[in-house]
Amino acid sequence: MKKVVIGMSGGVDSSVAAIILKKQGYEVIGLFMRNWDSSINGDFLGNPNINDNICPQEQDYNDALAVCEKIGIPLHRIDFSKEYWDYVFMYFLDELKKGRTPNPDIMCNKYIKFDYFIKEAEKLGADYIATGHYARMINNQLCRAIDENKDQTYFLSQLNANQLKNVLFPIGDIEKSEVRKIANEYNLITATKKDSTGICFIGERNFKQFLKNYLPNIPGKIINIDTNEVVGDHIGLMYYTIGQRKGLDIGGTKDKTFVVGKDLEKNILYIALGEDNKYLVSDSCIIDSVNFNCDLRPTKATAKFRYRQKDNDIEIEYLENNELLIKYNNVKSVTPGQACVIYVDDKCIGGGIIKEVRKNNEKLWYLL
In the CATH hierarchy, which fold is given to the domain comprising 216-273?
A: SH3 type barrels. (2.30.30)
Q: H helices of the chain, where? A: 12-23, 38-41, 56-71, 81-84, 90-97, 104-108, 117-123, 161-164, 176-185, 207-212
Q: Which residues are catalytic?
A: 108, 200
Q: What is the mean pLDDT of residues 273-301?
A: 97
**pLDDT tens by residue, 295-350:** 999 999 999 999 999 999 999 999 999 999 999 999 999 999 999 999 999 999 99
**pLDDT tens by residue, 168-193:** 999 999 999 999 999 999 999 999 99
Residue 45: band (very low, low, confident or very high) from pLDDT cuts 50, 70, 90: very low
Is pLDDT of 203 > 70? no
Is pLDDT of 280 > 50? yes
Angle between helices 176-185 and 12-23 (to 10 degrees): 70
**Residue 55 pLDDT:** 67
In the chain, the percentage of residues whose pLDDT exceeds 70 is 92
Q: Of 47, 134, 45, 117, which is closest to residue 76 (Cα–Cα)?
A: 117
**Residue 275 pLDDT:** 87
Contacts (Cβ under 8 Å, ≥6 apart) of 177 = none
352 within 8 A of 340, measured Cβ to Cβ: yes
Residue 254: band (very low, low, confident or very high) from pLDDT cuts 50, 70, 90: confident
**Residue 33 pLDDT:** 96
Phi, psi angle pair for 113, to nearest 5° = -65, -30
Residue 52: band (very low, low, confident or very high) from pLDDT cuts 50, 70, 90: very low
Residue type, 135: A
The DSSP symbol for 13 reads H
Contacts (Cβ under 8 Å, ≥6 apart) of 106 = 154, 155, 157, 158, 339
Q: For 3-207, CATH number?
A: 3.40.50.620
Burial 15-35, CB ≥16 within 10 A → b, else e: bbbbbbbbeeebbbbbbbbbb
**Residue 211 pLDDT:** 87
H/E stretch holding 351? strand 347-359
Identify the bridge partners of residue 232 per DSSP, sorted by sequence position.
222, 250
CATH 1.10.510.10 matches 278-363? no
Is pLDDT of 255 > 70? yes
**pLDDT tens by residue, 212-241:** 889 998 999 999 999 999 999 999 999 999
Q: What is the mean pLDDT of residues 96-113?
A: 96
Residue-range domain boundaries for the chain: 3-207, 216-273, 278-363
**Residue 355 pLDDT:** 97
The mean predicted confidence, pLDDT, of the chain is 92
Cα–Cα distances in Å, from 150 out to 115, 133, 134, 168, 296?
23, 9, 6, 17, 25
Is pLDDT of 197 > 90? no
